[in-house]
Every structure is written in structure tokens, then in C-alpha cells.
Amino acid sequence: MELVQQILFIILVGFAIFLFARKVKEINGNIHFGHDEDLSDYKKERWKNVLVFAFGQKKMFRYPLVGVMHFVIYAGFIIINIEVLEIVIDGLFGTHRIFANPLDGFYTFIIDFFEILAIGVLLACVIFLIRRNVLKLKRFINHDLDGWPRTDANLILITEIILMSLFLTMNSADRALQLQGNPHYADHGSFILSGIIAHYMSHLDASTLIGIERSCWWLHIIGIFAFLNYLPYSKHFHILLAFPNTYYKRLVPKGEMKNMPNVEREVQYMFQPELAADADAQPQNQNPRFGAKDVFDLSWKNLLDAYTCTECGRCTAACPANLTGKLLSPRKIVMDTRDRMEDIRENIKENGSFKDDGKTLLHDYISVEELRACTSCNACVEECPVSISPLDIIFELRRAVIMEESNAPAEWNAMFSNIENNFAPWKFSPDERDKWAQEME
């Protein structure tokens, strides 16, 4: 029987790893739809950002109570799953609590710590469910989350509650069997919480307790692997992507726009016509794209941002345009970018390569009205706990609207025309620009 369980476990592990690796490879390919961008400078500062913002979750603690609860869930997820290593080894080799004897009394201390964290995770998840579904905080009932995104958030919280309950029940049944002197369940000392629960299970016979312990063991590890494979389809993929996304955070001053060489060169020719004579000697981009119309025109970092989004809505809650009733929601901008990548991937799966579907990120997913509402204030970037910049995506799309489509308000077009013809926003010839001074004489 044990050999059968080992074989089944090996199949489970191999299948789970295969599915996870395949999906991660697909997402990596989606991120590389974007053009290249070098973000390898200032390594010391980048590692500092990882420690402070990804591990330390500094921005979460702007709201202390929520920050503490989120950190408990985060720490619980990371630390308790160290226990998965023991489960995997036990499953592969048919052992039971293989670390117990080598670690001796320290093993009991570790499990006690895990159980305290598990209770913390349980309580925090219940509170977060209440905040989302009973208190209905504004950023959680926004229409951005209608449909699957809202279900996804609740499903993850419920899954974590189930996994922690299975962990505690498994330990309780294990401890009850230890107290009964079952030879396969050596006495490693009482666990702080499951030890208490075990006394209420002591009246059960050994076969029932073994059934409970084994069922919880299998359900717990199957749940962990299922959770692992669900992550890439969920907003909770940020659990993994928050680290690289924080590392590759742009370190230029916030809101700074990169000049486009083609545009910058044309402006230089306006003020220094003699430079135009050397233009033919310079390498030219034959098909320059001004801004971005689709995900292919964005940077890979913009696309990594989209997959890292936690959908927490802090960006939208801080957005002055959104607060005043405008259509713009920075969270929706990022979520739409991710949705477009997923749709392109489905297109590639169906056709072998991407076939033009007549859609673009601009217009079909994100409207001009949304882009125009942005004040470029940077509040969304400042609020994001995982270093996402919706503003970069907005800038690139808005640049395409103006420079590719000449789709600007009439007042802007008049100003652009004056700059192009008169080298200034005002409708005065350069030759007449100093007349005001002559009149003063």
C-alpha cells in the first residue's frame, strides 16, 4: 500500500511541476511580446528595493492594521510552506515526519511556530473576506473587479482558510495517534494548538484517526500543488513576480518621459537647420512608432507590471481623476494590458502565430477618454505596493493618440500647429516676437 502511495505521489509531483512550468513559460513569452529595455543599472539600489518593498512590504504598512494582517498571510504562506518540503520527502520515500528525529526538540518548536502562523492566517483571511463582502470597501466593489476578478480574490482567501484548517487537523490527528501509542506515529512532544485539539479527538479509534490524518495529508499537499498551478491564472501570481518587478523598478525620476530619438532629432533640426545636412549619415528607423497602440509597442517591463498587479485598487483609490468621477482607473489600465496579452496568446495557440485580429490595446481595451483623464500626478505609482507604474503605459498610449492619430483636443492642435510653424505656443511669427520690446521704446 505504501509503495502505491509513493508512486501516486511521484506522479502528482511530476504532473504539478510540469503544468506550472508550462504556464510560467507561456507567461514569460507573453511578457516578451514587449520591446527590450535595459534596467540592469544601480544593482545595489535595486536589491535594496527588493528587501524593502517586496520582502518588507513597506508600502503596505502605510495602513498599519491592514499591513500587519497582510504580512501575517504573506509570512504564513512563505514559512508554513517550508513544511511542504518535509511532506514531499515523506511522500517520495514513504517516511513520516522525517525531520522530527534529527531536529529533536527544535522540531516541536518549529511546528508550534507554524501553527501560530496558521491561526494568524486563518483570522486574517476571515477579516479580509468580511472587508470585501460585508463591509464592501469602495475599492473592492469598483466595476473594475466585476466578474472573475472578484471571484478570484474570494477564492484565494477561502483556499488559504481550507489549507490552514487541513494543516491543523492533520497535526491534531497525528498528535492523538501519538498519545494512543501508535507505533507509526512516534511521540515528538505536544504541539501548542493541535495538542489541545488532539485531546478532543482522543476518543476516536486508531483507524479513524489514521483516516483523518492521511486524508488531511493528501488533501493538504494536493491543495498546495493545485494552488501553485492556480497562481499563474490569478492576480496572486504577484506572490512570485513582486520580487523581479521590484528589482526592475525604473529608478529615473517618477513621471519622467523618455525622449524619442526621432522626435528629438526633428526638434533639433528646427532650431539648428545646419544639423539636417548630416541626417543622411545617421542610421534611421524605417518604421518609427510614436508611442504604443498595442502591447507589442510597450516595454517588457510594462508587461511584467501587468502580470504583477495585485488588483488591490490602491492606485485607483488615490487617483484624483477617478475620485472626481472621470472614467480613468489605473487598475483597469493594467488589468486590460494583461487581458490583451492573454487574448494574443490564445490567438497564437489557435493560428500557430499571431494573426491580426483587428484589435489593439488602444481603443479596443483602453479608451481615449480614459487616457485624457490622467493628470500625470504619479499618485498611482506612489501607492502601488509592488512597484507597478500604470503611468508609463498611459504615457505611451497617449503619445500614440497624439502623435500617430493626431487625435488631440482642438486647443492642443492649435498649440501644436503654432509650435511647428512658429517654434512657440503662440500665433506669432518668429520675426515679430520681439516687437513688444520695440514698442516700449
What is the percentage of the chain residues whose pLDDT exceeds 70?
95
User: Which of 1.10.3470, 3.40.50, 3.40.1000, 1.10.1060 would CATH assign to domain 261-279+286-430?
Assistant: 1.10.1060
- What pLDDT score was predicted for residue 209? 94
pLDDT tens for 286-342 read 456 788 999 999 999 999 999 999 999 999 999 999 999 999 999 999 999 999 999
When pLDDT is averaged across residues 254-281 and rounded to a whole number, the result is 70
Per-residue buried b or exposed e for 101-130, using 16+ beta carbons within 10 Å of the residue's own CB: eeeeeebbebbbebbebbebbbebbeebee
Cα dist. 2→9, 92, 166 in Å? 10, 10, 21
User: Which of 9-23, 88-102, 160-174, 390-404 is predicted with the least confidence, judged by mean pLDDT?
Assistant: 88-102
pLDDT at 148 over 80: yes
**What is the per-residue pLDDT across 1-11, written as a single tens digit (0 to 9) for each?**
678 888 999 99
Whether 319 contacts 330, CB under 8 Å: yes
Nearest-angstrom CA–CA distance, 228 and 20: 7
The predicted model scores a pTM of 0.86
95, 2 contact by CB (below 8 A): no
| Residue 122 clears pLDDT 70, i.e. is over it | yes
The residues, ordered by sequence, that sit 6+ positions from 201 with a Cβ below 8 Å of its Cβ are: 172, 173, 176, 209, 212
| Cα dihedral 191/196/202/204 (nearest 10) | -100
Residue in 319, 325, 303 with CA at minimum distance from that of residue 380: 319
Backbone angles phi, psi at 98, to 5 degrees: -65, -25
Q: Where are the domains of the chain?
A: 2-31+63-247, 261-279+286-430
Q: What is the largest CA-CA distance in the chain?
A: 109
Q: Is 260's pLDDT higher than 90?
A: no
pLDDT grade, residue 374 (50/70/90)? very high
What's the confidence (pLDDT) of residue 2? 73
Give every CB contact of residue 375 below 8 A, 6+ residues apart in sequence: 320, 321
pLDDT in tens, 400-415: 999 888 888 888 888 8
In DSSP terms, 13 is beta-bridged to none
pLDDT at residue 390 is higher than 60: yes
From 311, 333, 339, select the one nearest 237 (Cα to Cα): 311
Q: Which residues are CB-contacts of 354 (< 8 A; sequence separation ≥ 6)?
A: 344, 347, 348
pLDDT, tens digit (0-9, with 9 covering 90-100), for 277-301: 665 555 555 456 788 999 999 999 9
- Residues 6+ positions from 142 with CB-CB distance below 8 Å: 313, 316, 329, 331
Residue 314: its pLDDT value, please? 94
The whole-number pLDDT of residue 401 equals: 94
pLDDT tens-digit profile of 40-84?
899 999 999 999 999 898 999 988 888 999 989 888 877 777 788
User: Is residue 271's pLDDT more than 80?
Assistant: no
**Neighbouring residues of 165: CB distance < 8 A, sequence distance ≥ 6:** 122
